[in-house]
Structure 1
Amino acid sequence: MNPDNLAKLIDELSAMFHPTERDRPHGRWVEAPKSAPPSKRRRSKTAYQLKITLNGIRPPIWRRVLVPGHATFHELHLIIQEAMGWEQAHLYEFDFGSVLIGIPDGWDSFQLEKELMDARRIPLQQWLTEEKQKFLYIYDFGDYWRHTVTVEKIETLPKPLERAACLKGKRACPPEDCGGVYGYLELLEAAAQKDSLADPELRELVDWMYDMKGEDFDPDAFDVEEANERLAYIRL
């Protein structure tokens, strides 16, 4: 997709979704801990096409998003949360090998061997420098959901993006607090044979999953329009 078409796509999405503070979904928005932001950041015409893949699950769960270079890594965290369908209920970090980027409060003492950087202060364009670059996004240090983020394309657009967009994706996001990859796979296996389950604990877990995700939960379903409705609340 060329830059003009990408810009047109973003304009169309912005025209479709005009959220207000009153419309913001209650309980789905966790503000960053207080931190003095950079004085006045410059808006960038650079845009990144990123593919976010949840590790350890087959068939894969993934999203393709378009984000501006001036977005911070904390804003990328919010974008991934809404595009994937997570609930912003846990801590996170981006792992570049020798460097971690996240919210330092509460976890810096556990990673003394790595340099720690504040996600609220660092724009993507400071670290994302080439196509095919990969890094990790880790969400929930208990369930430890590991996502591989791949820089698929770096584009220069006619004007800066105001919002991120989800271009495509596959399969539904797991429920929060389900025990990580192995817990989710066990849930799916139990759900597939729910009517014949003899183990009351497994039946209770399956009922809990449907309480969390809805009785019509389909692990193979993904709605890109719903993802973009959620992303529309994030102004960049």
Structure 2
Amino acid sequence: MYHKWIKEYGKTDGFLKAYKGVTGAPFGLENEEGVLTQEDFLQILEDFRMVILKELKVDIDNWNAGVFVMGLVDFIPKYIEIDNTVILEFQIILSNFLLYLEEKDYLENTNELIIAMVEFMPVCLNRNLDTKYWSSLKRKNIESYMEYMDDQMEMLSDLLDDLEEAEISNNFFPLTNKQQNQDKIIPMKPSQIIPFEGANKKTSNKIYQLRIDIVGAKPPIWRRILVPAEMTFEDLHEIIQTVFGWNTAHLYQFNVGSVILSDFEAEELLGEPTQFYFEPQVKKDMAKTKLSQLVNLGDKFEYIYDFGDSWEHKIVVEECLDKDPSIPFYPYCTKGKRTAPFEDFGGIERFDDFVASFKKNANKKSVQDVLEWAVGEDIERYHPDHVDIEEINEILGMSFLE
């Protein structure tokens, strides 16, 4: 509940005029999104009063310039979760509130407080942006909010990617009759989820749903695939090469906890041992090690390709499923976003820079020269947001169908 002075102030013409001056709209009308309401400003006033009362042990009756400045500069940025725009708006509301308290004989010499507020406002704004002044609660709440917003933005990005991908596919890569009817025949995401039975048990009929992301890509570049749990890591390496369009032209390795799996014979032959593992880690033969022996539902592990460019892939075991008779073969790719980087391109940051240049001016000579080097005859069909799932599955089917 608000303090009685704040309740009274919220009903005065002075508050309504200050509120209109800040928001641009009289109270009682529906505000635009992002505009603080009357209740918001009254709550900020109450929070400010409680900070002064609790932290400085001084009630409004005994405010003075020193106490006021300490509360404004040290405690508002630390405890109240508002941004700098709100602090500046709050300055107007607070100034009028002080005048109201003087009018009601609750305070004297409010001009001194208002002048102090104006003089020290820049310090308050700077400290509000400096996380070292935040309380642990404010930091925790803001971090939670940012995590929530990141999740929402990822969902929105996926939705926009879906819409953009559909438009790109229809405009540049018209669907064949077979493709148009594909979703009616093959569900893109099997819905029959079963509990995971644990590693090292008989899982001959179990399927892992894996999501594989290229680390650092903005927007994300990823593929979702269905693979037998009994498949070896060597087979998974071949699948990753296929779904991202890599050419197995470089060394590679998996990092699964303390276990590494790689083509150690190739390393010895080339005399280029990888620098991505250390003595405490255990080496295993990836041709003899099955996925079910090392990873379970919910596990995350890493695949690194090309130790020069260092294309890092984050792999998550999203689900453990029964075999679906409507899926024609395993492994099978169900979804993906964005075309993978070019081989030998120098790393994800350089690729993202190229994509930005392509989207800005695809016909620029420097862009066209890169495309001619990277994709050759397919230069006219290239688009960084296009993924041909059917083509990926055709290659997977030819490579792994028994």
**Alignment match, 2:221:** 61
Question: By how many angstroms is 1:156 displaced?
Answer: 3.1
Question: By how many angstroms is 1:187 displaced?
Answer: 2.1
Which letter maps to 2:321? E
Which letter maps to 1:190? S
Residues 1:169 and 2:342 aligned together: no
**Alignment match, 2:308:** 142
Query: The residue matched to 2:380 in structure 1 has which SS?
Result: coil
**Aligned with 1:228 (options 389, 393, 396):** 393
User: Distance in 2 between the 1:103 and 1:47 partners?
Assistant: 25
Q: Cα 1:150–1:65, aligned 2, differ >3 Å: closer, same or farther?
A: same
Q: Cα 1:118–1:59, aligned 2, differ >3 Å: closer, same or farther?
A: same
**Alignment match, 2:95:** none
Q: Cα 1:48–1:109, aligned 2, differ >3 Å: closer, same or farther?
A: closer
Answer yes or no: is the 8 Å Cα contact 1:104–1:117 preserved in 2.
Answer: no
**Aligned with 1:94 (options 243, 251, 254):** 254
The answer to which structure, 1 or 2, has the higher relative contact order (CA under 8 A, 6+ apart) is 1
Question: By how many angstroms is 1:190 displaced?
Answer: 3.3
Answer yes or no: is the 8 Å Cα contact 1:137–1:148 preserved in 2.
Answer: yes
Question: By how many angstroms is 1:98 displaced?
Answer: 1.8
Answer yes or no: is the 8 Å Cα contact 2:372–2:379 preserved in 1.
Answer: no
Question: By how many angstroms is 1:207 displaced?
Answer: 3.9
User: Distance in 2 between the 1:226 and 1:74 partners?
Assistant: 22
Could you list the runs of 5+ residues in structure 1 that have no partner in the other structure? 1-7, 11-41
**Alignment match, 1:190:** 357
Q: Cα 1:70–1:162, aligned 2, differ >3 Å: closer, same or farther?
A: farther
**Alignment match, 2:298:** 132
**Alignment match, 2:160:** none
Which letter maps to 1:66? L
**Aligned with 2:234 (options 74, 81, 84):** 74
Answer yes or no: is the 8 Å Cα contact 2:256–2:294 preserved in 1.
Answer: no
Identity in percent? 36
Answer yes or no: is the 8 Å Cα contact 1:168–1:224 preserved in 2.
Answer: yes
Answer yes or no: is the 8 Å Cα contact 1:79–1:234 preserved in 2.
Answer: no
Normalised by the size of structure 2, how large is the TM-score? Answer: 0.44
Which letter maps to 1:153? E
In the TM superposition, 1:192-231 aligns within 5 A as 192-193=360-361, 195=363, 204-211=369-376, 214-231=379-396
Q: Cα 1:164–1:194, aligned 2, differ >3 Å: closer, same or farther?
A: closer
Q: CA RMSD for the aligned pairs?
A: 2.8
User: Distance in 1 between the 2:346 and 2:356 partners?
Assistant: 14
| CA deviation profile, 1:108-149 (whole Å, cap 9, x unmatched) | 5743422111110101110122x2210111111111101110
**Alignment match, 2:322:** 156
Q: Cα 1:207–1:189, aligned 2, differ >3 Å: closer, same or farther?
A: farther
